[in-house]
Structures are given as C-alpha cells and as structure tokens.
C-alpha cells in the first residue's frame, strides 16, 4: 500500500519544528537556508505588494524578506508546530496559517509573488500544487520555486531516489525532481519560465511567470 506522505511530512516537521532553524544540517535547515537566500536575492529589486510562501516552515524566508521590503506576507504550512514557531517570531505584516499546497485557501488572482522553498519534494503529486500556485497568482505574478534535485543524475537519479524514499524513508520525501524536468512540469502547467538555474549541485531554482 502507498505510504501517506502528507501524514509522514506533517509528523516529521512537527518534530523538527522546535530546533529546525538552529540545526543547520542537511536533514534540517541547511538546504532551506540556501534556497531562501536565493529567493531573497532574486526579489531584492522586484516590486510586490503581497507574497505567499508555501511550505513556509518557521517563517525563515518571510522574516528575511519583511526586513527588506514592506508588503503583506502570508506563510502556509502543513505542520501546526512549524506555524507555531513562525508565529512566535512576531513578524510585522505577516500571517501564518495551516494548509496544504494542493488546496490553497485563497481566491484566484490574489498574489504578486508565490514562493516555495525546499517543500515541493514532499508533495505526492506534481501538477495539483503547480496549478494551485498558478491559480492564486495575479496575471504577470511570479512563482519562485527552489528545491532539492538529483543534480546531474537526471531520470536515473529520480528513479533511484523514489525507490529509496518509498521503501525506507519515514520523512515524507516522495517527489525529488531535477531542473530540466521541473522546468517542463511548470511549462506544462501554464508558467512562462523567466529563470532556471542550479543554485548548488543538488539545489535548483526556477522562476515562472503567470
């Protein structure tokens, strides 16, 4: 029987939440910090009035961005404990809510920017979260995705990774991809690609426009 990846992710991140920020290792916040830094730099000279961060964790990205730019920030995450950590930070102009990436509780055409840092590889299916991100973006809005990929190993890496995670892992990881494939998936779901790059060997970033 297929594992319930949503339940596993929720349990995994509920446990990680109290020590996530300060535990700077691969299983905790190391890759998240790299992806958040990329998104922060990308947005530095961009204008936006509101931003949704999907899989926001402890609000690390929103905290960085809100120091740089005054805007309305919303963070959404599956894990109540992650949301609690984010709320404890008392970030001005920021609101944090529980929710799932494949059922966003927002009207169509709401946000100027939607971000997703190191969360996508926990989503059991690829298309529904991409369609949701596109739906809630305003026309011309940006979706900035940065995630862990299989680097140079392409489809073979994805298959091996899937096998490993599906058989052995209890962390909710279930959908590791790579730059070329995710770029195609985003285009198939209606995004125009404005940037696609390797941030490090195993971290990629893609910016799509609605």
Ligand X SMILES: C[S@@+](CC[C@H](N)C(=O)[O-])C[C@H]1O[C@@H](n2cnc3c(N)ncnc32)[C@H](O)[C@@H]1O
Q: Which is nearer to ligand X, 77 or 112 (CB)?
A: 77
For CA atoms 204, 173, 57, 27, the dihedral sign is negative
Q: Which is nearer to ligand X, 144 or 179 (CB)?
A: 144
What is the rounded CA–CA span in Å between residue 57 and residue 73? 14
Q: Which is nearer to ligand X, 40 or 140 (CB)?
A: 40
Q: Which is nearer to ligand X, 57 or 141 (CB)?
A: 57
Residue 85: CB minimum distance to ligand X, A: 9
Residues of this chain that interact with ligand X (CB under 6 A) are 6, 9, 13, 29, 32, 35-36, 54-57, 60, 77-79, 82, 100-101, 117-119, 122-123
Residues shown for the chain: 210
Cα→Cα distances 142→16, 71, 116, 133, 135, Å = 29, 15, 11, 9, 12
For CA atoms 4, 15, 168, 55, the dihedral sign is positive
């Amino acid at each position: 029987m297929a594992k319930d990846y949503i339940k596993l992710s929720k349990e995994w991140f509920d446990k990680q939440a109290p020590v996530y920020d300060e535990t700077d290792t691969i299983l905790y916040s190391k890759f998240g910090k790299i992806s958040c830094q990329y998104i922060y730099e990308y947005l530095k000279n961009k204008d936006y009035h509101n931003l949704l961060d999907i899989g926001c964790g402890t609000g690390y990205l929103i905290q960085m961005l809100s120091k740089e730019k005054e805007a309305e920030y919303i963070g959404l995450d599956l894990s109540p404990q992650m949301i609690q950590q984010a709320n404890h930070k008392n970030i001005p102009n920021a609101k944090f809510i529980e929710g799932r990436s494949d059922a966003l509780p927002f009207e169509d055409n709401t946000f100027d920017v939607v971000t997703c840092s190191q969360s996508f590889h926990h989503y059991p299916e690829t298309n529904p979260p991409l369609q949701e991100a596109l739906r809630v973006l305003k026309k011309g809005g940006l979706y900035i995705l940065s995630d862990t990929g299989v680097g140079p190993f392409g489809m073979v890496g994805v298959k091996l990774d899937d096998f490993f995670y599906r058989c052995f892992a209890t962390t909710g990881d279930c959908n590791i991809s790579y730059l070329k494939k995710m770029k195609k998936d985003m285009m198939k779901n209606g995004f125009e690609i404005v940037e696609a790059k390797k941030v490090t060997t195993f971290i990629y970033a893609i910016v799509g426009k609605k």
